[in-house]
Amino acid sequence: MAIVKGPCMSMDARGQLGKSLVFIGWKGIKDVRSHVIPANPQTDPQMEQRGFMSDSVAAWHAFTRTAYDIAAFNIVASIQAAIMSGFNYFCKMWIAALKGEIVPFAFSNFVTTANTGGTLSWTVSGGGAVLGWQRSGSSPTVLGAPVAMAGGGGAAFSGAISGTVAGDYVYITFETTDADSVAVAGIYKVLILA
């Protein structure tokens, strides 16, 4: 990195000079670099990856989601090894499914239908899945064994968790066992009411 003092006979210079030099400032350090036009080889694998990315972004915008669904994707993203947002996690999983030539879909529209007397009941849209499973627990990183959900086959899934304690949080996520599709789901955080 070439550190400059008084670039171009001034106190500061920023931007491109012709097509040869670029003046920048970064954290108080003035720098000058050669102008480089980034390579953009449009190879078949690169174009395929760009198509996957476009499809995942379109899927994020197309599926009906609530603020609760977005929060659920942010929770599952927060426990990943890499720092990412819920949107990034969704796109990563969607692209992985497309690369594996599996039809992806998203669980969404999670709604609690009852949250009293030690029982939490809910419904969730399964995006056309036939078979669905719920996993729940007291932490997003410690979820129990899969439990079959009622519904499916294009309709919403429903389920219930009993033995809940008022004031505690329950974390719930969803899976599918359909052979030709994969679910992208967040982890929902529900406060148990009295």
Report the mean per-residue pLDDT for the chain: 85
Per-residue model confidence (pLDDT) at position 39: 85
Name, in order, each residue with C-beta under 8 angstroms of 16's C-beta and a sequence gap of 6 or more. Answer: 22, 23, 35
pLDDT, position 7: 58
Break the chain into its structural domains and give their ranges: 2-34, 44-191
Kindly provide the residue ranges of all beta strands, DSSP E only, lying in the chain, ordered along the sequence.
2-3, 15-17, 21-26, 29-34, 103-106, 108-116, 119-125, 132-137, 147-148, 150-151, 157-162, 169-176, 181-184, 188-191
94 in Cβ contact with 184 (< 8 Å) = yes
Q: Tell me the pLDDT tens digit for each residue of 51-82.
A: 999 999 999 998 877 888 999 999 999 999 99
This prediction has a pTM of: 0.76
The CATH code of domain 44-191 reads 2.60.40.10
Q: Which of 79-88, 110-119, 152-161, 175-184 has the lowest mean pLDDT?
A: 175-184
pLDDT tens figures, 20-29? 777 777 777 7
In this structure, are residues 124 and 113 in contact, taking their beta carbons and an 8 Å threshold? Answer: no
Residue-wise pLDDT for 147-176, tens only, equals 988 887 777 899 999 988 889 999 999 988
